[in-house]
Structures are given as structure tokens and as C-alpha cells.
Structure 1
Amino acid sequence: MLNISHNSIDRDEILKNQSSYQEVMRTKASRTLVRLLSVLFFLGFVMLFLPWTQSIRARGTLTTLRPENREQEIHSVISGRVEKWFVREGQFVAKGDTIIFISEMKSEYLDPDLIEKSKNQTNAKEASITSYKSKAEALRNQIDALENNQKLKLKQAKNYLSQQRLKVNSDSIEYETAIINLDIAQKQFARQEKLYEQGLKSLTELEQRRQKLQEAVNKKTSYQNKWFTSQNELINAQLNINTIQGEFQEKIAKAQSDLMSAVSMSLEAESDYNKLSIQQSNYTQRSGFYYIKAPQDGYVTRAITTGIGETVKEGDPIFSFIPSDYDLALQMYIRPIDLPLVEEGRKVQIQFDGWPALVFSGWPNLSFGTYTGRVVAYDKAATANGEFRVLVSPDPDSPEWPQLLRIGSGAYGISLLKNVPIWYEMWRNLNGFPPDFYINEQLKEPKAKKGKVK
């Protein structure tokens, strides 16, 4: 109607001749239906203004917060042959319990006395090290003794050299004295001979003077020879010093060469000893790998290498193992468009597979059978399917998760966001807009308090 005229129109008067209208108006059920539809329309209109909690919904599976608590495969460190199983699948084992025994397969480790023989070799090499060190110590003592003897011999030879120098000087003085005495004797003989010729002296006195002259000549010759002998002895004393130095240097050099050889052999023996010690330790450690033990308390879930006599290689998985004590967490995958809305500490409502629940994602307070968690971490890079993984742990302020939950079970997570009217949420979904992004002030408050200075 355009409401151009202010005159009212009587609808019944106009439609009284219409059979279909009269038929409808005469039926009481039709009037009730109209009223019912009107009420439902009114209620639907009113519900459009009711509050609705936006959420991010995603499927996920249960896992653990710590990587070492997840299911893991136990591998064989060495190659070998399966000899005996000590447990069965699904059995609980404590840390250190033996699960499987494998025997040696490589030819270089088949000797049953391998460790004992290796130990004997190590002990023998250690004894040789001690022997070489003792020899080196003896050679050092010998070198010290030779050096001390050299010092004493050189000191003795130098003293003898000094004595010879003094003797040479003494003999030279005596030789000079003998020369003077010879000169005096010759002059006296010449004067005595003149006096004899003049008849003033007797022949006897002349012959006595000749005898004294001859004695002076003999003394001069004797002292000359003695002086020459002392000079030769001085030269021999000087040569003796060089001889002593040469002999002791040769002996010391030989002892030092033997010392270096002993030290070199000692170092070589120590190197061989270290190699043998490492080899012995490797043999001992390898013998401990024959028994594969439980790394922690848990359950043997599945045997991968099963048969007795079956061979395994290094690094081959033998069985899978799951710890008995772990902290459950939900890993769910969200779209990249929802990643900016996820932050650590945000609450998530979770519906676990196998636990009946009545879920109203828009009214979480009316949901029944769901459990509460909090976001503890999320990946900084997308997974292979283009989604981001979010880890959710139990909320400490909410009821505990069921005790019978197991790793790998499925779950449905609902991350709660902003409260908006229902009409807005319908309009957002029709247009394909993401949920409203907002910052939870309660989550930011601890960070703000942390930065305050009192």
C-alpha cells in the first residue's frame, strides 16, 4: 500500500465474495496456523538479537606435550639375530626390564673370550708403558750422572792445565837461570884460562872451572828439555779438556738419543693402549647391546621383528613402545585464515570421541559433555596439508579430562572467540568473513603487569 488516501478499506467487505478467502476464514485450524506462524516469526526475529559466541572449530587427535612421552620405535644398535623375547605385546614393563635378547652375527665379535683377551692386551700394553717410562727415567738419571762427571772431569782437567801453566812458567824461569849461569860460567872460565896462561892460576883450578862450565851447560840443556817437556804437557792438558768434552758429549748424546727413543716408544705404547682401551670399552658396550631394555616405564605396543632367528640390522626397529606416564594434549589443525585469532592461553571446548556430548557451539554454557582446555603452543609454519597445528592442554581451573583417554583418539575442538548477535554471525557466514579478531585483555594483563616497576 502507498497510503495515498486516508480513507480506510474494509477488507472483509471487499473479499466477502471471494470463495477461497471465505473458505480459509471459516476454518479454525487455518487461523491457528496463521497465529502459530506469526509467533514463530516473531520468536525467530527476537532470536536474531540473542548473543552468539563465535568459535573456530577443528578436528584433532590426542597426543602428548613432551616428545619423549609419545609412542616411539625401539631400534637395535647393532646387527644381530633374535634369540628370545621376554615380554608379550601390550605388557607393562618397568625402566631397565629386558625385552628381547639378540646374539652376535659379525665374525670379528664371535669369540666368547673377546673381552677378556682384549683386557689382557690392554694390560700388557700398560705394562710396556711402565717399562718404557722406567727406562726413560733411568736414562735421565744416566744423563745427569754423565753431566756431573763431565763437570768434575773438566774441573780436574782445568786444574791440571793450570798446574801445567805454572810448571811451564817455573821451568822457563829455571831455563833462563841456567842460561845466565852458563854465561857466567863461560866468562869465569875465560878469565880463569887467561890467568892460567899468565901463570897466575894452576891447571887444577882451570880444570875445576872447566868442570863447572860443563855442569852449567848440562844444566842449561836439562832445564831446556824440562821446559819443552812441560810445554808439551800443557798442550796435552789442553787437548785432554777437549777429549773429555768430546767423550762426554758423545756419551750424553747417545743417552739422550736412547731417552728420546724410550719416550717415543712410551708415547707410541700409550697411543696403542688408548686404542686398545677404546676397543675394550667398545666390546664391553657392545655386549650390553645384546639385551634390549625398556628406556622408561611403559607398554610394548607392537612387535615389528617377531620370529626367533630373524636377523636385524643396525638401526632397524624391533618393537614400538609407549610410556605409561604422560601428559595428554590435543593437537588440532586450523586454517591459515584463523591463525591470527589463536594465542597462548585461549580456552578451547573439546568433545572427545566415545564420550557423549551435547554441543552448542554458539552457547558454550549450555553444552554438555565437553571439556575445557587451553592453547599452550602453535606451529610457526604450516604442515604439509596447508594448515597450522595447535596444541591444547587441560585447563587447570576446569574439570579433569577423562582418565580413559588414549593417545591417538579423535577429538573435536572449539576455540571460543567473541560474543556477537546471531544476525551478525549469520550475515558473516553468508559473506564468508572470518570471525571478529580481538585481543583478550585478561590474557594481556599478566604481560602488562610484568613490565610494571614498583
Structure 2
Amino acid sequence: MLDISKLKLNEKVDLSKYKSMEFTFHKDRFLTFNKIMTIFGVVLLAILFLPWTQIVQGRGYVTALSPGQRSQSIESAIAGRIEKWYVKEGQIVRKGDTILYISEVTDKFFDPNLLSRAESQIKAKNYSLDSYVEKVKSLNIQIESLKEERKLKLEQALNKLIQANLKVESDSIELEAAQTLVTIAEIQFERTENLEAEGLLAKTDLEAKRLQLQNSLANVLGRKNRLLSSKNEVINAQIEISSIKASYQEKISKAESDKFSALSGQYDTEAQRTKLENDFSNFSVRSGMRYITAPQDGFVNRALQSGIGETFKAGTQIVSIMPLDIDLAVETYVDPIDLPLLHPGEPIRIIFDGWPAIFFSGWPNLSYGTYGGRIVAVERTMNPAKGKFRVLIEEDPDEQSWPEVIRAGSGAKTMALLNDVPVWYELWRKINGFPPDYYTPQDSNMSSNKNQNTGK
């Protein structure tokens, strides 16, 4: 009805006898609803003032705490060809167990007697080195002998020089004596000549004195000649000394030159021997690399190279192994806006994939099925592929132990517990899109962080 008529239906018809109208116009019907809404409002208002724990959520996976316990790919240090497999996928191997054998594909190492030939070359070089050493010793002895011989020869020549000088001195004295005799003979001749002129002496006496004078003059000439000969002997002795020095210096220099040549050959041979020994060691180590062994106890995940006769380059990944004894950890990723809120040593809650959990965000004490952990490290650089920061979490020893059957690579969801704030504040923060409150970690967490950084 459009209610455009001036006639009122309720004035002509008694509507109170109808149940629907009775329910509509009954005022007591609002009391129950008002009570329910009032109670609900009071409860809601009380809930808004309850404490709420802020959290930082992340998504990651299970890994190993130590880098040496994580899955690794064994690589071949040399290029080769697969000859024989000793394991299969899914097998447990111990440290040192042979995984496969490879053969050489480099022509330099084809010789099966490579090690024995290299050892023979080292022996030959040792013999050559010994020869050089003995030659150097012989030359040292020869040099010492030449120096001793030169010393004796020089002493002999010096003695000759002294003798020649003494002879010169002796001849000089004899010359002076002969000249004195000439003077005496001249005086006697003049005196005899005067006496003969006076007739006191015979002419024969004058002639005898003349003969004596001539003999004295002849003796002086002989003495002068002998003195010159002695002086020549002095010069010859000096020349002989110089000749001895030059001759022996030449011989010694030649011996020293031969010695240095031998030393040069000795050092060169030592360098060649060292190189051969290095090659021998390299060949020995390389021969051991043909057998690829397990670096630690582990589980063979997957053979990355398969078949027999397949060739590969150096550094190629051969097989993937997962260590057996590992300390599990969780590697999670958080947004950059939440990074300053996380600190090493702080608690964190974890939900593992495959282990159902009921998690009450903001009331972790009421959560069921979550596991405790502690932050070990917070990465300082962002992962460019994910656009997030990596956080490493270890098991909290004070909480429930992690499930024994979880494996590395399993998914995990993490919730870092932050400040306790009222519910109304958290709703207001969520509506405005604000980050959780920045805060200073507790002293215990800071000391834990400090101890970890200092390696205590």
C-alpha cells in the first residue's frame, strides 16, 4: 500500500490481535538484544586492551647450522673419464670410501710409468749435482794449492832479489877497493918515475910500477862490469817477482772462473732437480685424484655425472652428498623493513611443513604445535634474488626438541616475537601500515650477540 489515502487502516481494524503486529509493537523484545550487544561491546573493548605480541613473519627452509654439514657437490680436481662407479644413489658412505674411478684424458699423463720415469730423472739429476759439487771441491783445493805455491815462489824470488842486492853492495865495495888500489898505484908510479929520473932506481922498477898501475886500472874496469851485472840481476829478480804474481794470478783467476761456472751449473741442476721433484709430487698427487673419495660420512643424494666412459672437465660436479651428522637450523627470509628488529640470540617460533600447528598471532603462549628457536646470525646484505634478508635460526635447547624426521630442505614458517602492545594499538598500526615498534634488545640477548661476535 502506498499510504496515500486519508483513511487510516489501524483506526478501522484492530491490529493488536495479530501475532506479527504484537511482536512488532512489543517493546520488551529489544532487551535481550541490547544485553547481548552490550556484553559483546564490553568484551570487545576489554579485548582491545589485552596485551598483544608483535611478530615478524618469514618463510624459509630447514638447513644445517654449520657450512660443513650442508649438502655438497663433490668435484673432480682434474679432467677425466668415468671408468667405474663404486656407489649408487641412496647409499650411505663413510669418510674415505671410494665413489668412482676415473682415467686420464690429458696426453701429458698417459704414460703408465710416469712416476718411475720421473724418479729416474731425479736420480740422474742427483748424480749430475754430485759431480758439480765434487768439481767445486776440487777447484777449491786447486785454488788453495796455487795460492800456497805462489807464496813459496814469491818468497824464493824475494830471496833472489835480496841476494842480488847484497851482491850489488859487495861489488860496489870491491869497486871502491879497486879504485883505491889505482890511486895507490898512481902515487907509487909517480914516485918511482921521479926516483928513476934522479937515477936512484932502475928503469925496470919504473916499468914494474907502470904494469902494476895498468893492472889496477884493468881491475877497476872488471869490478865496474861485475857491479853492472849484479844490478842486472836485481832487475831480473824484480821482473821475476812480477812475472810470478801475474802468472799465478792468471792461474788462480782461471780456477776461480771454472769454480763459478761449476757453481752455476750446480745451482741450475739443483733448480732442475727441484722442478723434477715438484713434478714427481704433482704426478703422485694427481694419480691419487683418479679415485674420488667421500670427504665425510654422508648419504649419496644424486649422481650428477652418469654412465661409463663419459668425459668431463676439471671442476665438474660429480656427485651430491648430504652429511649424516648435522645440526639442523632454519634459514628464513624477512623483509628489509623488519630487519632492524631482529638480533642474534632472540627467541623465535617455527612451524615446520608437515607438522600442523595452531598459531595465535599475538598470543604465542596459547599456540600449539610450534617449535622454539634462537636467532644465530642476521645477514648484512640483501639477497638480490629474493629481495629479502637472510636470517639463520638454531634450535632452542630450553624448548621442545625439533622433530627428528625433518630433513634439510623442508619448508618452515617463522615468527619472531617482538614487543608486547595493546590490541587496539596493533589494529591501529595494521590499518595505517606502520612497521612494528623499533626496540632495544634485552641485555641477555645483547651479551649473547657479543659473545658470538667475539667467538666466546
What TM-score, normalized by structure 1, do the two folds share? 0.88
1:64-213 to 2 correspondences below 5 Å: 64-213=64-213
Cα 1:31–1:290, aligned 2, differ >3 Å: closer, same or farther?
same
User: What's the secondary structure of 1:382's corresponding residue?
Assistant: strand
Residue identity in the other structure for 2:344: E
Residue identity in the other structure for 1:123: K
Deviations 1:114-149 (A, max 9, x none): 111111111211222222122112212221221222
Cα 1:110–1:154, aligned 2, differ >3 Å: closer, same or farther?
same
Bigger shift: residues 437-446 or 180-189: 437-446
Cα 1:48–1:22, aligned 2, differ >3 Å: closer, same or farther?
farther
**Counterpart Cα distance in 1 of 2:449 and 2:248:** 86
What TM-score, normalized by structure 2, do the two folds share? 0.88
Corresponding position: 1:437 with 2:438:
yes
Corresponding position: 1:413 with 2:426:
no
Cα 1:447–1:286, aligned 2, differ >3 Å: closer, same or farther?
closer
Bigger shift: residues 105-114 or 420-429: 420-429
Deviations 1:364-411 (A, max 9, x none): 112222110011111112111221111111112222212222111101
Deviations 1:81-104 (A, max 9, x none): 111111111222222221111111
**Counterpart Cα distance in 1 of 2:122 and 2:29:** 108
Displacement of 1:51 in angstroms is 2.6
Bigger shift: residues 73-82 or 187-196: 187-196
Aligned to 1:348: 348
Aligned to 2:405: 404
Gaps of 5+ in 2: 1-14, 452-456
Aligned to 1:10: none
Cα 1:419–1:271, aligned 2, differ >3 Å: closer, same or farther?
same
Work out the number of aligned pairs and report it.
436
User: What's the secondary structure of 1:302's corresponding residue?
Assistant: strand
**Counterpart Cα distance in 2 of 1:387 and 1:195:** 150
Q: CA RMSD in A?
A: 2.8
Taking only the aligned residue pairs, the percentage that are identical comes to 46
1:32-431 to 2 correspondences below 5 Å: 39-384=39-384, 385-431=386-432
Cα 1:155–1:449, aligned 2, differ >3 Å: closer, same or farther?
closer
Deviations 1:413-435 (A, max 9, x none): 11111222333322322222222
Task: Kindly indicate whether the alpha-carbon contact (under 8 Å) linking 1:24 and 1:30 is maintained by their aligned counterparts in 2.
Answer: no
Gaps of 5+ in 1: 1-14
**Counterpart Cα distance in 2 of 1:219 and 1:243:** 36
**Counterpart Cα distance in 2 of 1:100 and 1:448:** 44
User: What's the secondary structure of 1:96's corresponding residue?
Assistant: coil
Displacement of 1:183 in angstroms is 2.7
Cα 1:352–1:21, aligned 2, differ >3 Å: closer, same or farther?
farther
**Counterpart Cα distance in 1 of 2:290 and 2:146:** 59
Displacement of 1:30 in angstroms is 9.9
Cα 1:446–1:276, aligned 2, differ >3 Å: closer, same or farther?
closer
Task: Kindly indicate whether the alpha-carbon contact (under 8 Å) linking 2:63 and 2:409 is maintained by their aligned counterparts in 1.
Answer: yes
Deviations 1:42-89 (A, max 9, x none): 544443333322211111111122222211111111111111111111
**Counterpart Cα distance in 1 of 2:438 and 2:244:** 101
**Counterpart Cα distance in 2 of 1:393 and 1:224:** 119
Residue identity in the other structure for 1:312: F
Deviations 1:151-194 (A, max 9, x none): 22212212221221121011011012112212322332343244
Cα 1:25–1:93, aligned 2, differ >3 Å: closer, same or farther?
farther
Aligned to 1:8: none
User: What's the secondary structure of 1:381's corresponding residue?
Assistant: strand
**Counterpart Cα distance in 2 of 1:21 and 1:141:** 142
